[in-house]
Structure 1
Amino acid sequence: MIWLTWRQFRVQALTAAAALTLLALYLIHLGGEIRTFYDTRIAGCVAGSCLTARRDLYDSYSDTVIIVGALLVAVPALIGIFWGAPLVTRELEARTDRLVWSQSVTRTRWLAVKLSVIGGCSALVTGLSALLLTWSASRYDEVIGDRFAALSFDSRNVVPIGYGLFAFVLGAVVGVLVRRTLPAMAITLVAFTALQLLIPTVVRQHLVAPVTETITADASVLNAGVGLSLGDDDTFRIRGYTVPGGWALEDSSPLLNPDGSAYTGKDARPCLQLGDPEASMACTAAQNLRFEHTYQPASRYWAFQWIEFTGYVVLSVLVAGFGLFRLRRRI
């Protein structure tokens, strides 16, 4: 049965191997360029030259890293569409299921072997792709990248392996239910895409309880690129504050006086009337203002990776079990 699976899958496997080879050659070249830039411009830089070097690194490689990351995020969906969805529907539409499933190999064993072998290949393809990009963009991510950003998180390290496995199993089981290739491909694409949008925007931040800290809005905070905005209710909010490497869960937070009341335009007027921006900023910093910041610390990055990877593997097993059950009961 494994030999038969390979015979039927060898064209797709060889195509994937060729694509991975080309991807590896390109990402090794890209990684070498980024490392050379890092070693010559950023490692050991001082003061203003570091800021210029970081800006040049971003200008030179950000578009490339983003595009490659987006392409690799799409790989699991393509696997689900072109490897998963036709797995059963191809047999049903060609009427070969009557011959295949009337032999000594039961339909349950047939599907189990197919899911195991091709699912393993799916995980291997996405895993190697993610490993290549993780290595290639490692220096870029170290200097500029936000590891918790959806595009970065979804295309690096171990979690893409879970995506590839689940997308394939989802496509195969949708094929069992729908029994037509094109509708199965469309449903797989919609379902997997919806899940990939839902997880980073709604679910991921709640996988581990976030940390909430009270931050003093001193000079180091106010001069670190944060912004103050005055709302229609005449209260100030602070925007853009981040803990290094952390994942901020709120765009802005209310700015508070030492007694816990909201910092208003009336409170800020004495500082704003100074005229000089630097003097106004120093005056604001001296008021001992504070705000609450809710975030996920950088130290939890790998915890999120493993939790989400495990979740997708478990979901793949459950969906595969459901597919085996339905196929066995199909008349």
Structure 2
Amino acid sequence: MIWLSWRQFRGQAIVALVALGVTSAALITLGTTIRQDPYVRCTENCASLAAEFQDKWVNLLYFVDAGLLVLPVLIGIFWGAPLVAREWEAGTHRLVWNQSVTRARWLTVKLLVVGAGCVAVSSVFSLLLTWAASPYDEVAGDRFTRLLFGVRNLAPVGYAVFAFTLGACLGLLLRRTVRTMALAGLVLIVVQILVPTLLRPHYLTPENRAVPMTAEVVANLRFLGSDADISGLTVPGAMVVSTSRILGPSGGLVDLDRYHACVSRSPETAPACIAALGAHVDVAYHPASRYWLFQLLELALYLVAAALLATVSALRLRRGGQ
């Protein structure tokens, strides 16, 4: 069964190996080039170089991050979805079952063989990207943000295993390859949206702190609302879960008349004006010290979900017909 599963998978594996080789070479080149930047070799008075360093690499690294974010979806569509559905469409599963191979063994071997490939590919991609981007991540302090958390270290491996198992499970239920690929892609995109926004912020109870509205903080916000609501506040190295409206020194809502007068000023003078109000916001956040714990929790979440999907597939196969 192992040899047969490999024979059926070898075409996809060859394509993956070629893509992995090309991408690995590109990531190694990227990481080496980043490490040759003047900022990385700077030892003192590096603030201006740090800002230039971030501006230089941020867009390219976000583009590469998007590539790893798409990888599990591609695995679910092109590796997971056809794994069982294609067998059903071609009727080749009957040939295997008639040769004393049980249904459970047939499914288990297929999941393990291709699943091992998923782990290998996603691990190499994640390892190389994490290494290549580490000088930038150290400066930016944003690897715990919702966008980057899922494309560094352990989380991408768990998501790849889940994506593959989901595709295989849907293929067993639908038994049509194209239909399964479409549904798997849709579900995985939804999961990519829901996990960072609804689940990840609540793995643990967030900590709380008051962040003063200094001129620098205000200038870096993405949005200042007329009712003193904001967005885009960051805490270095942390995952921000929520922020309050802008509060005054007494803890109540900031004086809106004075606040409106500041907001109506030019973008150059408004931050200093708001800072002069002595305002702050209450922030719920997960500190940087929780990063690796959250990585392990997310890996466990995806692996448990994958195990449940594999169990559902096994039960469905046992009860299903030919």
Q: Partner of 1:223 in structure 2?
A: 215
| Post-superposition CA distance 1:212-251 (Å, at most 9, x none) | 1234x3xxx5133325998656xx4566543221122235
Query: Does residue 1:101 correspond to 2:100, yes or no?
Result: no
State the number of aligned residues.
315
Compute the TM-score of the two structures, normalised by the length of structure 2.
0.88
In structure 1, what residue type is equivalent to 2:61?
V
Task: Give RMSD over aligned pairs.
Answer: 2.8
Q: Are residues 1:44 and 2:43 paired?
A: yes
TM-superposed CA distance for 1:312, in Å, is 0.3
Structure 2 vs 1, CA of residues 268 and 167 (structure 1 numbering), >3 Å: closer, same or farther?
Answer: closer
- Which residue, 252, 257, 272 being the options, matches 1:261? 252
Structure 1 residues 319 and 295 mapped into 2: Cα distance closer, same or farther (>3 Å)? same
Quote the Cα distance in structure 2 between the aligned partners of 1:186 and 1:33. Answer: 38
Structure 2: stretches of 5+ with no match in the other structure: none
Q: Deviations over 1:243-295 (max 9, x none)?
A: 2211222355331233x3322145679999xxxx98x959965x765442211
Give TM-score, length-normalised by structure 1. Answer: 0.86
- Give, as a single letter, the amino acid of the residue that structure 2 aligns with 1:20: L
Contact 1:271 1:284 in 2 (8 A): no
Distance in 2 separating the partners of 1:193 and 1:184: 14
CA distance in 1, matches of 2:230, 2:99: 69
Give unpaired runs (5+ residues) of structure 1.
Answer: none
Q: Secondary structure at the match of 2:295?
A: helix
Pick one of 229, 234, 245 that aligns with 1:242. 234
Which is greater in Rg?
Answer: 1
**1:305 alignment counterpart:** 295
Match in the other structure for 1:328: 318
Q: How does 1:29-40 map to 2 (within 5 A)?
A: 29-38=29-38
- Mean Cα deviation higher: 260-269 or 310-319: 260-269
* CA–CA separation in structure 1 for the residues paired with 2:175 and 2:262: 70
- Percent identity of the aligned residues? 43
Contact 1:127 1:160 in 2 (8 A): yes
Contact 1:239 1:252 in 2 (8 A): no
Pick one of 51, 58, 67 that aligns with 1:71.
67
| Distance of 1:119 and 1:97 partners within structure 2 | 19
Note the C-alpha offset of 1:146. 1.2
What letter corresponds to residue 178 of structure 1 in structure 2? Answer: L
| Residue number in structure 1 paired with 2:283 | 293
Q: What are the within-5 Å matches in structure 2 for residues 276-287 of structure 1?
A: 281=272, 285=276
The 8 Å contact of residues 158 and 302 in structure 2, kept in 1 or not, is answered as yes
Question: Against the structure 1 CA distance between its residues 58 and 257, is the aligned structure 2 distance closer, same or farther, given a 3 Å change threshold?
Answer: closer
Give every structure 1 segment of 4 or more consecutive aligned residues whose post-TM-superposition deviation is greater than 4 Å.
Answer: 38-41, 227-233, 236-241, 266-272, 280-285, 287-290
